[in-house]
Structure 1
Amino acid sequence: MAPNLQESFWKRNGLGEEYRDVCLGAIGEVYPECRVQELEEQGYCSFTVQVSNSTRTLIEDNAPAEDYTISASQESLIVQVRPQAHTLDLEIGTAATKIYGSYAPKLRNLECKLPPQLRAVEMNRLHGVPLSRCNIQKFALDGESWDKHVTMIQSFASFIALSWSSSSSSPLVLRKIRADSPLDPDPTPTSHSISLTYCTGTVGVRIVPKLQKLAEMLPDTALRQRATDILLRIQKLDDIPVVLNHGDLIPSNILVDPHTWRITGVVDWAEAEWLPFGTCLYGLELLLGYMDMDTSSPSLPIFRYYDDAPRLRELFWERLGKERPEVRERMKQVRLARDIGVLLWYGFAWDEGRIDRVVNEKDDKVEVECLRKFLEVDTDPLSAV
């Protein structure tokens, strides 16, 4: 079930609407000579504002929290207010900028007078517009739209490729390895064997029980069998690296140049985790088509792939294989991780952020449609590369 955006951020967090002005005022006190403006597009778990004509720079990673450096010219900043349950992990944020460079924003905590259950984070504003504003909802792509999709798909591959060079030997991950993990009796890392032991985030520590739940409770036999088959093959993931995956790789979080559709940034890293490479590739499917309504049954959603989606998919894997040749040797494992990502992302309903109820045909039509369409994709993408 999709998040309920009819309720305001404040109501969803048990606060009155007057707290909007309270938060805007608190942020304004930190930037007294700047314009603080609520963004038109808001996410489910945050209240986001732009701070324009700021004279304050981002603080260096090793600077004390009270150190406010002043600069004569600073680009506009973004400030996000989030409830504690959905706060941004600054360690993950630092890892994201180290791995993905300018694709990810630099984060720092912002000290301001907010209600106790809320936290504020400052970040640099990334250039570009959300891809969700640009998406073309038509089956056939003409010359210009085809060129834009090619640019977007290839830049998406370049973005994904950046994570391969990172690995679970990152100090951030090694500090959090569960020594008693039942998934790997010998947790000593090697350069040849990476296991689910290294998946230490909210989703990562529960991959196996989540797949077991899906294998028992998905709404039809074919989907349950698919989850079972994937569960039985999960140890094959030992042959691919555990990398930092963006946890919400959807068009509204992908920024593009509005003229070329080259990806310029990715926002909202709140759900990012160290997971097997390829887990976030459910996001590729969302770039190859669009959600529509079935003409024979207006209440039934249907995901339609573009007529040239197979070629776009080939272009993605060609670029990824060119930038990370190691992927070619591990395509079965990457495909397995991709299927796990599809199951975990679409197999559980959002339900106000709980994400623990298995989807059903009645309440979660979009998610079930995506499960079926995305899991039936039959690709051997690098066979002809």
Structure 2
Amino acid sequence: MAFSQDDFWERMGLQEKDRTTCVETVRGRYDGYHVEKFEYQGYCSFTLLLSPQQGHIVSEVGFQSGAHIRASEVAEQLIVQIRPAQHALDLDTAWAASRTHSLVAPMVRTLDLCLPGDLCAYEMNRLEGTPVSRLHPHERSIGVEIREKQRALITSFTNFIAQSWPDVASKKRRDSVLRPDSPSNEEQTILSLCTGKVGSCIVPKLQKLAEELPDQWLRERAQTTLDKLRVIDDYPVVLNHGDLIPSNILVIKETWEITGLVDWAEAEYLPFGTCLYGLEYLLGFLQPASQELDRPTFVYYDNAPQLQAKFWTTLLDLVPGLGGRQEEVRLMRDIGVLLWHGYAWDEGTIDRVVDEVNDGDELAKLRAFLSNS
């Protein structure tokens, strides 16, 4: 199969010959598989789909990760993802994701391949499903059939969120501040357990937002959120998906039940609920600037309040340990909204506060999501 030049290679400062080398190297490694470019591509990676050729027995290529072993005779479709070193996957985090969310997170292993440009390669099992981003309507009022699918989507999304609460994931005491993999230590605090790229600088990042966001209301929200965080010292720190957007949520096309969550590259241990900015994406859509709109606007569906209420009701049913702590979860959700949409991506540097000139889409989501809390 012929591969066309992809923006990924230009962004990474690589050339067409580098892409060809990567594809041919993967083909050479996976004898008995048909290798082609995957339909869904991410911004920071190039993804290949590997399908076992009919009648060919795959003798050596099989997925192994910890206690998970897939027999080579039962060949499945695989994904091979090629990433630059700056966007490499953390295998400990990937393993934690597949352990906590075994039905929706892929198993991942590193491939020992000689690739150009310090590129890394990973093998993972293919997760079936269609990205929600391809199914979401872009109109405020929607029909009965889509509303039913939205309710199924919210239910399965809530199940995913609930799985990471310590009472559910690891049977720890309800008021534990500990990560599921941490030994008990009464002197540990929430922020001391957040050691990743985002978690290690939550306070200074919120402080910067409180000083530099482009309007007073946003700055005050950031400051209020930081003030509330500082008085909490007893709250679970769990694995949060780091990019919980519709294109990373796979569903059954006919029902919208979640079948998989992809792109765990930015996942890290953060307070439970930090990734709940992802719920907002399921409640509406971004309407770009036009002749009628002078700037982008995030529009909520007419039934968004009912869907949001369903999420919280279902979450409280699934996680009895949340009783009386709903406001804390909402606070962590606001922290996630501020950190994920208050900073510009800028090729992964994520240290520039968004502004009106360059970041209209992010500001539209930031204002809408914080107003909907």
TM-score, normalised via structure 1 length:
0.87
* 1:21 partner letter: T
Aligned to 2:137: 136
> What is the CA–CA distance in structure 2 between the aligned matches of 1:41 and 1:223, rounded to whole Å?
35
* 1:126 partner letter: L
Aligned to 1:310: 305
| Structure 2 CA distance for partners of 1:304 and 1:22, relative to 1, 3 Å | same
Pairs aligned (count): 355
> Are 1:159 and 2:154 counterparts?
no
> What is the CA–CA distance in structure 1 between the aligned matches of 2:286 and 2:24, rounded to whole Å?
39
Q: How far apart are 1:142 and its partner, in Å?
A: 1.1
> What is the CA–CA distance in structure 2 between the aligned matches of 1:154 and 1:289, rounded to whole Å?
16
> What is the CA–CA distance in structure 2 between the aligned matches of 1:145 and 1:262, rounded to whole Å?
12
Counterpart secondary structure, 1:233: helix
| Structure 2 CA distance for partners of 1:40 and 1:318, relative to 1, 3 Å | same
Superimposed CA distance per residue, residues 161-192 of structure 1 (whole angstroms, 9 cap, x where no aligned partner): 00002476457556xxxxxxxxxxxxx733x9
* 1:341 partner letter: G
Counterpart secondary structure, 2:287: strand
Superimposed CA distance per residue, residues 3-60 of structure 1 (whole angstroms, 9 cap, x where no aligned partner): xxx9711111111122111100011111022111111321111000011017332024
Aligned to 1:260: 255
Q: How far apart are 1:73 and its partner, in Å?
A: 2.4
Choose from 33, 51, 58 the match for 2:63.
58
* 1:89 partner letter: D
Structure 2 unaligned spans of 5+: 171-176
> What is the CA–CA distance in structure 2 between the aligned matches of 1:299 and 1:25, rounded to whole Å?
48
Counterpart secondary structure, 1:357: coil
TM-score, normalised via structure 2 length:
0.90
Q: 2:179 touches 2:269 (CA, 8 Å); kept in 1?
A: no
Q: What are the equivalent positions in structure 2 for 1:235-246 lying under 5 Å apart?
A: 235-246=230-241
* 1:201 partner letter: G
Q: 1:193 touches 1:239 (CA, 8 Å); kept in 2?
A: no
> What is the CA–CA distance in structure 1 between the aligned matches of 2:320 and 2:39, rounded to whole Å?
41
* 1:61 partner letter: G
> What is the CA–CA distance in structure 1 between the aligned matches of 2:146 and 2:180, rounded to whole Å?
43
> Are 1:88 and 2:93 counterparts?
no
Q: Which region of structure 1 is more displaced relative to structure 2, 39-48 or 88-97?
A: 39-48
Aligned to 2:185: 189
Aligned to 1:381: none
Q: How far apart are 1:298 and its partner, in Å?
A: 4.2
> Are 1:329 and 2:324 counterparts?
yes
* 1:132 partner letter: S
* 2:79 partner letter: I
> Are 1:345 and 2:328 counterparts?
no
Aligned to 2:295: 300
> What is the CA–CA distance in structure 2 between the aligned matches of 1:318 and 1:101, rounded to whole Å?
24
> What is the CA–CA distance in structure 2 between the aligned matches of 1:346 and 1:7, rounded to whole Å?
27
Q: 1:293 touches 1:299 (CA, 8 Å); kept in 2?
A: no
> Are 1:377 and 2:368 counterparts?
no
Q: Percent identity?
A: 49
Aligned to 2:350: 355
Q: 1:237 touches 1:276 (CA, 8 Å); kept in 2?
A: no
Q: Which region of structure 1 is more displaced relative to structure 2, 231-240 or 203-212?
A: 231-240
Aligned to 1:22: 21
